[in-house]
Amino acid sequence: MKPTICHRVTLILFFIQFICCSPLKAQELQRQNTFPLGIAWGFDYGHNSEPPLFMDKIRELGIHSTKVYLFWNQIEPEKGKYEWGIVDALMEQLAEGDEVLLAIYSASTWATSISTNLLPPSPAKSEKDYYDFIYQLVKRTKGKVKYWQNDCEPNNPVYWAGNKQEFIDQTKVFYKAVKDADPKALVVLGGYDGLFNPPGMPEMPNQKAGLSFFEDVIQEARGFFDVFDLRLYANPYTIRERVAYFRNKLDDIPIICSEYNGPGFMEFPVNRQYGSLLAQWSAAYASQDTAAYYQVQEKIKAFYERKDELAPETRLFLEESDSDYGKLYEKFQAADLVIRNILALEAGVQKTFFWDFWHDTENKYDLMTIMYGKNKMADYENGEFKNYRSLAGVMKGFAHKMEGFQHISQIEISENEDILSFLVEKISGDKIIIIWEKRTDNLSKKLIPEMRTVTLPFKKLHIQDIYGEPVNFEKNEHTFTFPVSSSPVFVISH
């Protein structure tokens, strides 16, 4: 069995389950980071290959922030013996103005309660060994890493094999080691997968346990983190309520989102019938049961053999980039990229990192390839960049429009409550309005534009679609009429 480590395991349980002594104020973080967009590299950085050189490719998209995962065993394979090549390779890629979130998993063959070089992370046998490792690592980066994070998504047993109190205790050691080595660095707590519905909606499986875990950690580890990380997968239209839920727990501590993408496999109700496959895959992965893993793989292989019988919402996720479904999914994910970010930023999230720039999709019959394989910006082979995906172009255009971002607010431009519009204000004084229509139609209708008449506050403007192409409009005194769909358009004043 070889489930590739770069696949996301975040949603497997979807159906199975500041500075120094004072926190940095949210408005202070806002002033320091006027550009909110980042792109995470992916789960595997240099485990089975040379560390990839990717930051120049991210910068080409107008992005200067990234997130990278590293594992204790990669850096200190034996006590006191450090192998800095992978860390140095990452640091050497950074240019002035780049920001990095470095997330460190407590996974070691010698230093942790469970011997492993990958997953699951577990508590250190010795607090001193853990402190020394983190301290030396932070020192090695010489202040180039702004954000440090420990053991993400610890409410998920795939990512933390200890208990809640052990996580809290180790978080405190992590915080002290980071701050002793670099007082200006920010410690990020959480990486909560964010898989919960707001009050009044049906609960997701294991929702109460996840919320309870982080509510207790926030309370008991208060003073030992500067920023909270809330991942924003699942339904984008619950982002405002999900962020508000944790805002009430965090007071002035800023919230970032170090992972998001979409639309996800399980966002489409028809795909939830495959929840049992998730359970089987998770159990096989956790136990390294090769036979059970290949049983799931055979079921995914059958998807391709009978693909014409699958629901369109399922077929979207097959590795068929040249098919009509593949092209349709690219349009959906392009819209989702903008929508999810706008809703997160309006809710008060300070920074987002798209997940992910790259991950391995060589095995198209792996369940994780079905679920997440298309949500990447680029293709790499043997550590070499091959090409950008179409989504990268959308990110580049969106990043350009968000440059100098200062504030975002929802505004009303129509009596139709399904037409959503958000005003983006920039430091320069420039303003952009982003508009789309929230639709519950079937796949074939969501992206079909229909003429809508709205009231806009700009006297002179032009309109672009999500790909930067001009959108024609008609003006009648104070109203404008133009085509609107579930894919956003940008109204730019001039």
| Residue 202 CB burial class (10 angstroms; 0-12, 13-18, ≥19) | exposed
Model confidence pLDDT, tens digit, residues 90-124: 999 999 999 999 999 999 999 999 999 888 999 99
Whole-number pLDDT of residue 343? 98
pLDDT of 33 reads 46
Q: What is the pLDDT of residue 321?
A: 61
Sign of CA dihedral 427, 432, 436, 438: positive
The chain-wide mean pLDDT, for the chain, equals 90
430: left (phi over 0), alpha (psi -120 to 50) or beta: beta
Residue 78 pLDDT > 60: yes
Q: What type of residue sits at position 141?
A: T
Asked if the model's pLDDT at residue 246 lies above 60, the reply is yes
Question: Which range, of 60-69, 415-424, 440-449, averages the lowest pLDDT?
Answer: 440-449
Sheet holding 419-426, edge to edge: 405-411, 419-426, 431-437, 489-493, 461-464
Q: In the predicted model, what is the mean pLDDT of residues 465-475?
A: 96
- Name the token pair of 37: 């967009």
| Whole-number pLDDT of residue 2 | 43
Tell me which amino acid residue 28 is.
E
Alpha helices in 423-465 (DSSP H): 443-446
- As a whole number, mean pLDDT of residues 234-249 equals 96
Range with the largest mean pLDDT of 2-11, 20-29, 138-147, 156-165: 138-147
State the number of CA atoms in the 13 A half-sphere of 256 facing the CB: 32
CB contact set of 446 (below 8 Å; sequence gap of 6+): 332, 439, 485, 486
User: What does the pLDDT read at residue 371?
Assistant: 85
Mean pLDDT lowest for which of 8-12, 42-46, 171-175, 477-481? Answer: 8-12
| Whether the predicted pLDDT of 291 surpasses 60 | yes
What is the set of domains in the chain, with CATH numbers?
Answer: 10-270+317-403 (3.20.20.80), 406-493 (2.60.40.1180)
pLDDT surpassing 50 at residue 12: no
Q: Which two tokens stand for residue 377?
A: 């910006």
Contact between residue 38 and residue 351 where contact means Cβ atoms under 8 Å apart: yes
pLDDT tens, 369-405?
Answer: 988 888 999 998 877 899 999 999 999 999 999 999 9
Do residues 148 and 154 touch, judged by C-beta distance below 8 A? Answer: no
Question: What pLDDT, on a 0 to 100 scale, did the predictor assign at position 440?
Answer: 81
* Confidence at residue 158, expressed as pLDDT on a 0 to 100 scale: 84
